[in-house]
Amino acid sequence: MSTTFLLPTLLLAALAATATSLTLKPGCRPSCGGVDVPYPFGIGQGCFLPGFEIVCDNSRPILGNTKQAIEVFVLSLSVTPRPEARVMVPITWQCFNSSGDAIKWSISTVNYNRAGVYRISNNHNELVVLGCNTFVYTNGGPRGRSTYTYYTGCAAYCDNAQSARDGDCTGVGCCHVDIPPGLSDNKMRFSGDPDWKNPGMPFSLCDYAFIVEKGNYTFQKADLKMDLETSKPLRLDWAIRVNNGSSLSCAEAPSMPGYMCVSQHSECVDSTNGPGYVCNCTEGYEGNPYLHKGCTNLNECARPREEYPCNGVCYDIDGSYDCKCHLGYESSGDPKENPCNPKFPLPARIALGIGLGVSILVFALLLAFIMHQKRKLAEHFEMNGGNILKSVIGLPIFTEKDLKKITKNNSECLGNGYFGKVYKGTLPDEAIVAVKSFIKVDKDRIGEFTEEVKIQLKMKHPNILKLMGCCLQLDVPMLVYEFAAEGSLRDILHWKQNQKLSAELRLDIAIGSANGLSYMHSEDIRHGDVKPDNILLSDKSIPKIADFGLSKLLNPGEKFTKKVIGCQGYMDPVFRNTGILTSKSDVYSFGVVLLELISRKKVEYGESGSLIIEFRHIYETKKSGRSLFDEEIVAEKDILILEEIGKLAMQCLKERLDGRPGMKEVAEQLVKIKENIVHTTATTLR
């Protein structure tokens, strides 16, 4: 047990030694009886500066270098910031017999100050005299006008045994007086004048005098019979000086050998009580300036704020400290002296806080909204078959954002398609496009829809409207097609009545359309809704077949029939009866388109309400469609063209499927008509 216990004790001792080493000479006892003994005080040979010896007698620190008979017990010793020794000094007294003659007295002078380093602190002590008919004074200092420079004292008198009062030291049984600086001893003089005798006063058999720390002594009547062995606390100032008149001041000392302020960051301070000087650590340092490296940095921040003020955050630095305001606070000057105020006054801070809160809320809402939008986009994408279509090669898939850019936020509406508006747009490569909304795709239709898109993408023919891409992030898919600048054939035939249409152009339109449909049929695709609305014309009047394959996506009896009711004029009666769509149904519808092309009349026409019936009638009766042709066409050769087209149309409109030519044949026939005309024209020219 002892070893384990010993080790920490030794460690502690070592630590204590290092901690106090800066106030001590190496190898000297740091304390005696609980009293620290800092250099220049010291115990034992070589540990003290001459005059500063402390004798440690059975753990009782005694001021050394005094008259041996009287012990001056040491209470505390300090070096900085005030050089001081607090000691207990025996009181001085004299006692009388009943006739008032002094019969015994103490040895009046302690002479505790042989080396002359101490002065009785005039600031912290006072002279107190107790007695009932006595005058006591002290004197000191060098010789002046009289034997000494200073004399001070007071008189105490009691009229009777009851005169003195506790706590009242104003001349009755007790008096006190301040002392001058420069007193080096407690020399007391009891007046020898016979007037100051104490005859026949059993309540006051002795007079007492002592210098005591101010505030320590309060008069008690009972003290008029005080114990003669009493000691009183007294504070001594000390300085580096000698008592032979050759003490140095700070004016000379630093340049003289034996200068005592040896520590760095130390300075010389002239003694304020007697000659000589003391050493002090400079501002910002603490410790013992009488030792090498004795002055060390003072941590001002660990001190009370009253000593080292700081209205903000305190930072200790070597020899000083910094003071900065807390974050968000500022001071109009140095925060050591000036208060730190909030940079923003409270209302501003509240406003800022609210502003910030609102911004965060708005931001959060915005974020939630964006997330929601994103989720919606992703949902639509998936619902619209995006996961299937994204792997289709050659199909650009636009994001909703792309699309907005392409259509400039749907700024230019071209008209209405089957399922919604059609917008004009421009691709990044400057190609002009038409953006159409498509039918709403639900779970059951994903397969059909994606199949349809794939087919449309596959259809690559100059007379088929080209699919340029799609966007699947909206609730309905948007399809992007090449732009047909001149609009639909219907528009040209029936809306732009004043736009002239030559017979040859009509023939070219017929040929192009037939080629497109024929190519489609060769790929085993049926259009299902051939009509002038679905034949678009490019800026060079090249016909483009559009909106094919839609019928497949429409549930029979649903939207299609409703929409198509108006287009019944084009519907193959066989398809209407059987519900089976064949390529010959497209041929029938194309026949109607041809009739419109040559007559520039709408399909609901005439008394019968049907252009087909009207044409059938005149072909049966007059073997010519001439009376129904567009009156704009007047040249005989042009009328011939229309006549040929009309005849071909009648073929297409045959009731029986097998009576109708195939689409390929129709195209070939039309080309032949053109060749014949060219031939004829050529011969005419020749």
Ligand X SMILES: *[C@@H]1O[C@H](CO)[C@@H](O)[C@H](O)[C@H]1NC(C)=O
According to the binding rule CB under 6 A, does residue 98 interact with ligand X?
yes
**What stretch of H or E contains 577?**
helix 573-578
Looking at beta carbons only, is 101 or 604 nearer to ligand X?
101
Query: Which parts of 67-86 interact with ligand X (CB under 6 A)?
Result: 75, 80-82
DSSP state of 507: H
According to the binding rule CB under 6 A, does residue 216 interact with ligand X?
yes
C-beta separation of 338 from 332 below 8 A: yes
Looking at beta carbons only, is 253 or 509 nearer to ligand X?
253
According to the binding rule CB under 6 A, does residue 97 interact with ligand X?
yes
Amino acid at site 629: F
Q: Which of residues 4, 18, 68, 246 is near ligand X by CB under 6 A?
A: 246
Q: Residue-wise over 403-425: b if at least 16 C-beta within 10 A, else e?
A: beebbeeeeeebeebbbeebbbb
In degrees and rounded to multiples of 5, residue 605 shows phi and psi of -150, 150
Nearest alpha-carbon partner for 264 in 292, 301, 283 = 292
Nearest alpha-carbon partner for 277 in 255, 303, 294, 305 = 255
State how far Cα 388 lies from the chain centre: 45
Looking at beta carbons only, is 280 or 311 nearer to ligand X?
280
How many residues form the binding site for ligand X (CB under 6 A)?
Answer: 18
Q: Which of residues 160, 244, 555, 577 is near ligand X by CB under 6 A?
A: 244
Q: What is the DSSP string of 262-281?
A: -STTEEEEE-SSSSSEEEEE
Alpha-carbon span 397 to 388, nearest angstrom: 12
DSSP state of 631: T
CB of 96 to ligand X, least distance (A): 8
CB of 6 to ligand X, least distance (A): 36
| CA dihedral of residues 256, 259, 263, 268 (deg, nearest 10) | -90
User: Which pair of tokens denotes residue 683?
Assistant: 């011969």
Looking at beta carbons only, is 102 or 505 nearer to ligand X?
102
According to the binding rule CB under 6 A, does residue 230 interact with ligand X?
no
Considering only the stretches 240-248, 302-310, 323-331, 625-633, report the one whose residues sit in contact with ligand X under the rule CB under 6 A. Answer: 240-248
CB of 77 to ligand X, least distance (A): 14
Looking at beta carbons only, is 44 or 319 nearer to ligand X?
319
User: Which pair of tokens denotes residue 92?
Assistant: 């001085």
Alpha-carbon span 683 to 686, nearest angstrom: 5
Q: Which of residues 131, 140, 153, 233 is near ligand X by CB under 6 A?
A: 233
CB of 105 to ligand X, least distance (A): 13
| Helix axis angle, 636-652 to 503-522, nearest 10° | 30
CB of 244 to ligand X, least distance (A): 4
According to the binding rule CB under 6 A, does residue 283 interact with ligand X?
yes
Query: Which parts of 615-644 interact with ligand X (CB under 6 A)?
Result: none
Q: Catalytic: which of 529, 533, 630, 638?
A: 529
Q: Which of residues 55, 228, 242, 414 is near ligand X by CB under 6 A?
A: 242
Amino acid at site 266: S
| Helix axis angle, 636-652 to 611-622, nearest 10° | 110
Q: Which of residues 22, 278, 310, 603 is near ligand X by CB under 6 A?
A: 278
Looking at beta carbons only, is 233 or 276 nearer to ligand X?
233
Considering only the stretches 10-18, 148-156, 276-284, 457-465, report the one whose residues sit in contact with ligand X under the rule CB under 6 A. Answer: 276-284
Looking at beta carbons only, is 84 or 572 nearer to ligand X?
84
Query: Which parts of 584-613 interact with ligand X (CB under 6 A)?
Result: none
CB of 296 to ligand X, least distance (A): 13
Considering only the stretches 96-104, 573-581, 629-637, 677-685, report the one whose residues sit in contact with ligand X under the rule CB under 6 A. Answer: 96-104
Beta-carbon contacts of 618 under 8 Å, excluding residues fewer than 6 positions away, are 624, 625, 626, 627, 628
State how far Cα 653 lies from the chain centre: 79
Determine how many CB atoms are found less than 10 A away from the CB of residue 162.
9
Looking at beta carbons only, is 252 or 655 nearer to ligand X?
252
CB of 281 to ligand X, least distance (A): 6
Considering only the stretches 144-152, 275-283, 505-513, 601-609, report the one whose residues sit in contact with ligand X under the rule CB under 6 A. Answer: 275-283
Q: Which of residues 55, 155, 226, 269 is near ligand X by CB under 6 A?
A: 269
Alpha-carbon span 89 to 67, nearest angstrom: 12
Handedness of CA 571, 573, 579, 583 (dihedral sign): negative
C-beta separation of 377 from 397 below 8 A: no
- Indicate the SS3 state at residue 82: coil
Nearest alpha-carbon partner for 126 in 157, 162, 152 = 152
C-beta separation of 263 from 295 below 8 A: yes
CB of 322 to ligand X, least distance (A): 18
According to the binding rule CB under 6 A, does residue 2 interact with ligand X?
no
What residue ranges in 472-611 does DSSP mark as E strands?
478-482, 487-488, 535-537, 543-545
Looking at beta carbons only, is 61 or 477 nearer to ligand X?
61
CB of 193 to ligand X, least distance (A): 16
529 tagged catalytic: yes
CB of 240 to ligand X, least distance (A): 11
Considering only the stretches 92-100, 373-381, 557-565, 608-616, report the one whose residues sit in contact with ligand X under the rule CB under 6 A. Answer: 92-100
Alpha-carbon span 231 to 212, nearest angstrom: 9
- Burial (CB < 10 A; 0-12, 13-18, 19+), residue 652, is buried
CB of 278 to ligand X, least distance (A): 6
Residue 436 annotated as binding site: yes
Looking at beta carbons only, is 245 or 394 nearer to ligand X?
245
User: Which pair of tokens denotes residue 150?
Assistant: 């200073």
User: Which pair of tokens denotes residue 360?
Assistant: 């965060």
Nearest alpha-carbon partner for 39 in 224, 373, 288 = 288
According to the binding rule CB under 6 A, does residue 101 interact with ligand X?
yes
Looking at beta carbons only, is 27 or 257 nearer to ligand X?
257
According to the binding rule CB under 6 A, does residue 383 interact with ligand X?
no
C-beta separation of 278 from 300 below 8 A: no
C-beta separation of 383 from 441 below 8 A: yes
Residues classed as catalytic: 529
Q: Which residues bind ligand X (CB under 6 A)?
A: 75, 80-82, 97-99, 101, 103, 216, 233, 242, 244, 246, 269, 278, 280, 283
Could you list the residues known to form a binding site, using ranges: 436
Could you list the residues known to form a binding site for ATP, using ranges: 436
